């Protein structure tokens, strides 16, 4: 679900980036105001928990497994805006220290996992969680379904972002992503139910905003109004993005789809490569005089040059401190 760099065009990256930055900026202000000096330790340890839980694989179908995302869980446990802060911190850490998820895709990833996969389903739980009767079971059921929906919605947004960038055709990537994630989402839903169940039976007071307000009692009118406000604003922003950004984005020269139509790798690109760099004038013996051969030779040349430059860097470089945190403590 983490989109790397290069899969989104810059206009898509910028649009999602602005949207995400707005949401996160607001969330950070709210979190500071609501929680005061407890924000850093409480949200920080919660983020560490989600981070650890994300490394948990669960079996999906014979042989395959999915992993936990936790956007909705974060929002349910620490509150919606605090949850956005928690998920953003995780996405940032993964992008900057682990190399999981791109930098230009930060906005899209935050949008998918914190807003579409957290805030939105949270609204659903909030609105429906206490609608029928205040029972633990109804709350858990709604939360489970919402967690499933969170994963499916996030995967759909991810697919749309890829499609608008011209990376993958919408007609194929949307159904594929939604299909796969509607199975993986079952795991997310069940995990969320299991986790919340433990919390509800032993320390329900740790769960912010539980029990959710009864939608039929007199007070939630204001809430419903706000929920509508959020929904309408979201819709307007989405439409604006679709109307103004999407056509621009797909007409960009570096939209991959477009390039596919106008330029053939065989007749132009490789000729240029060969013409410009003497190194690429070689051909790979096994492949004969084909564009594949040129490419293979080019790739080989690059690998060699890459290695030489790494060695040059090492020669000029410094010895890493044995106690400096090493890169790549990922996945310990």
Partner 1 sequence: MDGDRRLPADPLDPRARLIALLGFVVVVVATPPRAAWPFLAYALVPAFFIGYERVSPRALARRLLFLGPLLLTVVGTRLLWFLLQHDSGQPTLQNEVWLLAVLGMRSGLAVLAVAAFMGHGDINRLAQGLRGLGVPAILTGVMEQAYRYWRLLWRELGLLRDAAGARGFRPRHLGDTVTLGRLTGSLLLRSLQRAERVHHAMLGRGFAGTFPTSHPLRWSRYDALFLLPALILPAAICAASHLVE
Partner 2 sequence: MTRAPAVPAVDISHLSFRYPDGTPALDDICLTIQPGESVALLGPNGAGKTTLALHLNGLLRGQGRVAVLGLQTVPANLGALRQRVGLVFQDPDDQLFMNTLGDDVAFGPRNMGLEPEEVERRVAESLELLGLDRLRNRPPHRLSYGQKRRATLAGVLAMKPDLLVLDEPSGNLDPVGRRRLAELLAQLDCTLLVVTHDLPYALQTCRRAVILNGGRAVADGPTTRILADRHLLEANGLEWPFGFTPPAPPG
Residues lying near partner 2 in the complex (CB under 8 A): 41, 205, 321, 323-325
Q: Which of 22, 29, 132, 240 binds partner 1 (CB under 8 A)?
A: 29
Of 217 and 262, which has the nearer Cβ to partner 1?
Answer: 262
Q: Which of 16, 112, 157, 192 binds partner 1 (CB under 8 A)?
A: 192
Instruction: State the residue for tokens 């796969």.
Output: 180
Q: Applying CB under 8 A, does 310 fall inside the site for partner 1?
A: yes
Q: Applying CB under 8 A, does 18 fall inside the site for partner 1?
A: no
Q: Applying CB under 8 A, does 96 fall inside the site for partner 1?
A: yes
Do residues 309 and 301 make contact, with C-beta atoms less than 8 angstroms apart? Answer: no
Q: Applying CB under 8 A, does 313 fall inside the site for partner 1?
A: yes
Cα–Cα distance list, 17 to 146, 157, 201 (Å) = 25, 14, 39
Q: Applying CB under 8 A, does 76 fall inside the site for partner 1?
A: no
Q: Applying CB under 8 A, does 133 fall inside the site for partner 1?
A: no
The CB-of-39 to partner 2 minimum distance in angstroms stands at 14
Contacts of 180 (CB under 8 A, 6+ apart): 155
Count residues binding partner 1 (CB under 8 A).
131
Of 219 and 321, which has the nearer Cβ to partner 2?
Answer: 321
Q: Applying CB under 8 A, does 185 fall inside the site for partner 1?
A: no
Do residues 106 and 17 make contact, with C-beta atoms less than 8 angstroms apart? Answer: yes
Q: Which of 98, 124, 141, 241 binds partner 1 (CB under 8 A)?
A: 98
Q: Which of 16, 104, 112, 157 binds partner 1 (CB under 8 A)?
A: 104
Per-residue tokens: 225 = 């109004």
Q: Applying CB under 8 A, does 112 fall inside the site for partner 1?
A: no
- Burial group, residue 269, by CB count within 10 angstroms (0-12, 13-18, 19+): middle
Q: From the list partner 1, partner 2, none, which binds 176 (C-beta under 5 to 8 Å, kind-based)?
A: partner 1
Contacts of 287 (CB under 8 A, 6+ apart): 293, 296
Q: Please tell me the distance from the alpha carbon of residue 52 to that of residue 288, in angstroms, as a whole number.
A: 50
Of 267 and 323, which has the nearer Cβ to partner 2?
Answer: 323
Q: Which of 33, 231, 44, 1 is nearest to 126 (CA)?
A: 231
**80-93 and 39-54 helices, crossing angle to 10°:** 60
Alpha-carbon dihedral 49, 50, 52, 57, rounded to 10 degrees: 140
Of 215 and 252, which has the nearer Cβ to partner 1?
Answer: 252
Cα–Cα distance list, 57 to 17, 46, 151, 166, 330 (Å) = 29, 19, 15, 31, 15
Per-residue tokens: 67 = 């992993």
The CB-of-172 to partner 1 minimum distance in angstroms stands at 4
Q: From the list partner 2, partner 1, none, which binds 316 (C-beta under 5 to 8 Å, kind-based)?
A: partner 1
Of 45 and 239, which has the nearer Cβ to partner 1?
Answer: 45
Do residues 157 and 182 make contact, with C-beta atoms less than 8 angstroms apart? Answer: no
Q: Applying CB under 8 A, does 225 fall inside the site for partner 1?
A: no
Number of Cβ within 10 Å of residue 99's Cβ equals 14
Q: Applying CB under 8 A, does 99 fall inside the site for partner 1?
A: yes
Write the DSSP symbol of residue 330: T
The CB-of-324 to partner 2 minimum distance in angstroms stands at 7
Q: Applying CB under 8 A, does 318 fall inside the site for partner 1?
A: yes
Q: Applying CB under 8 A, does 52 fall inside the site for partner 1?
A: yes
């Amino acid at each position: 679900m983490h989109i790397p760099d290069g899969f989104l065009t810059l206009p898509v990256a910028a649009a999602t980036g602005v949207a995400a930055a707005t949401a996160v900026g607001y969330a950070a202000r709210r979190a500071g105001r609501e929680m005061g000096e407890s924000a850093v330790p409480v949200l920080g340890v919660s983020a560490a928990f989600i981070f650890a839980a994300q490394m948990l694989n669960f079996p999906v179908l014979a042989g395959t497994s999915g992993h936990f995302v936790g956007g909705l869980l974060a929002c349910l446990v620490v509150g919606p805006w605090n949850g956005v802060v928690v998920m953003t911190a995780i996405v940032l850490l993964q992008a900057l220290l682990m190399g999981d998820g791109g930098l230009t895709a930060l906005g899209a990833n935050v949008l998918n996992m914190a807003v579409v996969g957290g805030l939105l389903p949270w609204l659903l739980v909030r609105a429906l969680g206490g609608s029928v009767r205040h029972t633990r079971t109804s709350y858990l059921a709604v939360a489970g379904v919402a967690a499933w929906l969170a994963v499916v919605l996030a995967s759909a947004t991810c697919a749309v972002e890829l499609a608008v960038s011209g990376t993958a055709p919408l007609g194929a990537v949307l159904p594929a992503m939604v299909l796969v994630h509607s199975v993986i989402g079952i795991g997310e839903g069940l995990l969320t139910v299991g986790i919340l169940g433990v919390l509800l039976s032993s320390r329900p007071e740790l769960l912010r905003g539980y029990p959710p307000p009864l939608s039929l009692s007199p007070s939630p009118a204001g809430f419903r109004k706000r929920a509508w406000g959020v929904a309408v604003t979201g819709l307007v922003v989405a439409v604006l993005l679709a109307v103004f950004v999407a056509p621009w984005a797909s007409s960009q020269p570096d939209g991959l789809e477009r390039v596919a139509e106008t330029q053939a790798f065989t007749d132009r690109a490789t000729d240029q490569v060969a013409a410009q760099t003497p190194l690429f004038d070689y051909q790979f013996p096994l492949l004969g005089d084909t564009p594949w051969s040129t490419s293979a030779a080019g790739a080989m040349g690059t690998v060699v040059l890459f290695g030489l430059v790494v060695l040059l860097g090492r020669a000029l470089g410094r010895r890493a401190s044995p106690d400096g945190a090493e890169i790549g403590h990922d996945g310990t």
